[in-house]
Amino acid sequence: MRLDLTDLTCKIGSVKFKNPVFTASGTFSYGNDLPEFVDISMLGAIITKSITYELRVGNPPPRIVETPSGMLNSIGLANIGVNNFIKDIIPLYKNIDTKIIVNIAGSTNDEYIKVLKDIESVSSDIVGYEINISCPNVEHGGMELGVDAKLSNKLITELRKQTEKLLIVKLTPNVTDISKIAEAVEEAGADAISAINTVIGMGIDIVKRKPTIYKTYAGLSGPAIKPIALAMVHKISKTVSIPIIGIGGIVNGENVVEFLLAGASAIQIGTANFRNPNVGEIIVDELNQYLKENEILHYSELIGKLNLYE
């Protein structure tokens, strides 16, 4: 027997999505300006690139380089700033047939709050926010806010006061114990957790005797980090009860199933978009196919259904 009907509808907080396949921040622009062959209506949601208060031109090149089964990037949060975003991009979302989540970044708590408030102040079709806490924070000596449970809790507590929309916190993997940060942001009222952002890495060009990326350290993404991401998603799922959106090295439907089994309720596709920006649609198909072949009616039957050995 093979099922003919499978159900991919996905709920996070009070928001319903067509399916649990989202695109990751920084890998799908603002959801606009994509090649014509990409059908975004097939996606569960699009996460915009990180929006900051002022526009940022980003870092000098080189900004990206390939590594074994992965890539390093240090784009430097290049983005048009919240004002241009509200003026030029938000109006486009009226005609978009998928859910939009705005990723927000900042160098100070204040910056996050201002960006979120400004977007809240206009009526829009945005369903929620993903808070990128992996940015260097000037108030804390350039340290990433997201490595400190208390600071993360404080930021999310403040942001929670400003919005009733979906508030998702995106965690950095560059910490000793990601569960602590997950607990702290759950306690602060986050609706969900995204994990993981990129892993700190570095490349060296032995001919030039320079780093392969201008900023020396950069973010590692792609299949190389999938084992790291799976471990972190699994750990977080043992700690918190809010949904987790799994990210890291997903390139096909089987990878999605891995993340679901590890405890994710939805997933995001990052680096794989660069190879084929339509990979989301393909992955939705593969996921449907998998459910049919395994006679699973609703994809959520897979979430956390891992049988540990011990």
Ligand X SMILES: Cc1cc2nc3c(=O)[nH]c(=O)nc-3n(C[C@H](O)[C@H](O)[C@H](O)COP(=O)(O)O)c2cc1C
Question: Which residues are identified as catalytic?
Answer: 135
Q: Which is nearer to a copy of itself, 44 or 249 (CB)?
A: 249
Q: Other CB atoms closer than 10 Å to residue 7's CB: what's the count?
A: 15
CA 179 vs CA 103, 134, 195, 201, 240: distances in Å: 22, 15, 11, 22, 8
CA 233 vs CA 87, 177, 265: distances in Å: 36, 12, 10
Check binding of 176 to a copy of itself (CB under 8 A): yes
Check binding of 55 to ligand X (CB under 6 A): no
DSSP helix/strand/coil, 128: strand
Select from a copy of itself, another protein, ligand X, none the partner in contact with residue 135, using the beta carbon and a kind-dependent cut-off of 5 to 8 Å.
none
Check binding of 12 to ligand X (CB under 6 A): no
Touching ligand X, residues 61-100 (CB under 6 A): 73, 75, 77
Check binding of 202 to a copy of itself (CB under 8 A): yes
**Are 68 and 95 contacting, i.e. CB atoms less than 8 angstroms apart?**
no
Instruction: For the CB of residue 188, give the shortest distance to a copy of itself in the complex, in Å.
Output: 20
In terms of Cα–Cα distance, which of 170, 165, 176 is closest to 152? 170
Select from a copy of itself, ligand X, another protein, none the partner in contact with residue 285, using the beta carbon and a kind-dependent cut-off of 5 to 8 Å.
none
**Are 133 and 146 contacting, i.e. CB atoms less than 8 angstroms apart?**
yes
Euclidean distance between CA atoms 125 and 100, whole angstroms: 7
**Residue from the set 199, 236, 279, 303 that interacts with a copy of itself by CB under 8 A:** 199
DSSP helix/strand/coil, 260: helix
Instruction: For the CB of residue 170, give the shortest distance to ligand X in the complex, in Å.
Output: 5
CA 144 vs CA 80, 106, 263, 276: distances in Å: 22, 11, 26, 31
Q: Which is nearer to a copy of itself, 91 or 227 (CB)?
A: 227
Check binding of 87 to a copy of itself (CB under 8 A): no
Contact residues: ligand X, CB under 6 A: 24-27, 49-50, 73, 75, 77, 103, 132, 170, 197-198, 221-222, 225, 247-250, 269-271
Contact residues: another protein, CB under 8 A: 26-29, 33-37, 49, 57-66, 68-71, 73, 75, 78, 222-223, 251, 271-278
